[in-house]
Structure 1
Amino acid sequence: MSLSGRLTRRALLLAPGLAALPLAAQPAPLTVLIDGSIEMPQALFKDGQALDGLQYHLAMEIGQHLGRPVRFRLVPRRRVAQILAEDQEADMICNYMPGWLPGPLLWSRPYRDDGDLLITAARHAAVTQLQDIAGQRVGTVAGFHYPEAEAVLGANFLRDDAPNLVTNLRKLASGRIEHAIVGKVTFEYLLKRGEVPLDLHPPLVIARLRTSCALSPRSSLSLPQLDAALAAMQADGSLTRVLDRFR
């Protein structure tokens, strides 16, 4: 048998063994929840898929620092905490605080300043403290908690729920309500783009917040790993670049 024939025969004998070798393990995708009630700058959806926004780019950057692909799962606001606590295919959600999501969740280091603002239509008397709106209907987002207003107003906190902030702005413009509680980052983003359709008094700051990521206790990602990724993003400037993009 020629040398080339012997090499070919040897290659054929080795081939089954080579085919049986396992492929290198691929990193598991990081499944990030996004609340379906939010809008830009938090997230932009099309056909149920996240395409843009602060939460989208933040998650993609975290995935890059962890060396894991990211997939997004759009869920109803009221089910976020339950899904994170019980579903093995849900890893985390970002831009939240422990007071907003009850349950046995793990919380990352805070990474962003935000706040809750009370906005009031200019046609109504200006508000200087929360007590001024006792017994008056206030635009809120269904499923969201407002601990400061609840603590100050108690039973006199009259919520008028809407699916999102944009709907509340429309209700203010139409005169259906005179006040609304809004997230500072989202409100300022819309205001800068001329998407606030009425005259308002200067907002009243009712809470200053530092948001974090909520991690499922069932996640394959550990809290130290998540914190390390956020710390690395702060150190290399990538976190600032993501946040500045949506100011």
Structure 2
Amino acid sequence: MSVRRLLAILLLCSSHSLAEPPALRFSIAESWSMPLVRIEAEQPVEGIVFDIIQGIARETGITPHYHVMARLRLQEAMESGDIDVRCYVASQWLTDRPGDYIWSIPLIEQRDLLVGRPGETAKASAEGLQAQAIGTVLGYHYPTLEGLFARGHLQREDSRNQLLVLRKLQAERYQHAVSNQLSLQWFNRQLPAQQRLPAVAVLEEQSLGCMVRRDPALPTQAVLRALVRMKQSGEIERIIQRYTEADGGD
């Protein structure tokens, strides 16, 4: 092979390598359900978090690689550098804050709600409930309820994800459950009005965002700027509305 041809091949390979978009590893909690994400064959295919990540990819030109893992492994994966971006996270959820990650601006305001059975109209408080088991998600921490759990006034009835919690409430397995507002809106959106599960109290409100690994080899600032643009343009809100607005069937 001539030197000229060898150089041409090397130049072509080098150009192809430079043209490949950077890849970022995004964490997906396997306990998530719709409207956050729907997982098929170990990969997300739709949902609020999926659409936000797709928006990041479109804005920055990166290729997202999805790492589906147990929620309790997320912080360990961050500390060991096994993921580059974690979205849908609040600072209160972290026992330690890894110093090599940068927070995005707040993207979503989440409310944790006390939810009752269909037809329940009276507002309530967790402290005012009679002693009972309430629906919760396995591995989730509920700061406003921890004292009631510790005293045994309320007992956790854990399920694998939020959707199962609401389905069990609908099936009258318990009288009340805890749900984030987005999941409750998704669950209720196709139900007739008389069958919808009502929120009877707001337990906690949190600002959620993304954390991006600080690494010179990664387009960290590009991702953070993309999220600012998506928030300011209203794209984040439009994504949420796409999955939570009622279908209108009464």
1:116 is matched with which residue: 112, 116, 119? 112
How many residues get paired?
236
Q: CA RMSD in A?
A: 2.9
In structure 1, the gaps of 5 or more residues are 1-10
CA distance in 2, matches of 1:124, 1:232: 41
> 2:163 aligned with 1:161, yes or no?
no
**2:71 matched to 1:81?**
no
Letter in 2 for 1:241: R
Q: Contact between 2:122 and 2:200, CA under 8 Å: does it hold in 1?
A: no
Q: Which of residues 206, 209, 214 in structure 2 aligns to 1:212?
A: 209
Per-residue displacement from partner, 1:172-210 (whole Å, max 9, x unpaired)?
233332111001011112101229995645431111222
Q: What is the CA–CA distance in structure 2 between the aligned matches of 1:190 and 1:99, rounded to whole Å?
A: 26
Tell me the percent identity.
22
Q: Is the 8 A contact 2:113 2:181 kept in 1?
A: yes
Offset from partner CA, 1:10-57 (integer Å, 9 cap, x none): x95522222233234233311111111111111111121111111111
Give the C-alpha shift of residue 229 in structure 1: 1.4
The question of whether the paired residues in 1 share the 8 Å contact of 2:89 and 2:209 is answered with yes
Question: Are the structure 2 counterparts of residues 199 and 13 from structure 1 closer, same or farther at C-alpha, using a change threshold of 3 Å?
Answer: closer
SS class of match (1:132): coil
Q: State the Cα distance separating 1:213 from its structure 2 match.
A: 1.1
Partner of 2:6: 16
Which stretch shifts more, 195-204 or 47-56? 195-204
SS in 1 for 2:139: coil
- Structure 2's unaligned 5+ residue stretches are 245-250
Alpha-carbon separation, structure 2, partners of 1:210 and 1:201: 23
Q: Does 1:46 align with 2:40?
A: yes
1:171 CA displacement:
2.3
Amino acid at match of 1:38: W
Corresponding residue to 2:225 among 222, 225, 228: 228
> Which amino acid is 1:94 matched to?
C
Q: CA deviation at 1:168?
A: 1.5
* In 2: Cα distance, 1:219 partner to 1:89 partner: 16
Aligned to 2:96: 103
Matched, 1:91 2:84: yes
TM-score normalised to structure 1 length = 0.82
Higher-Rg structure is 1
- Conserved 8 A contact 2:163-2:183: no
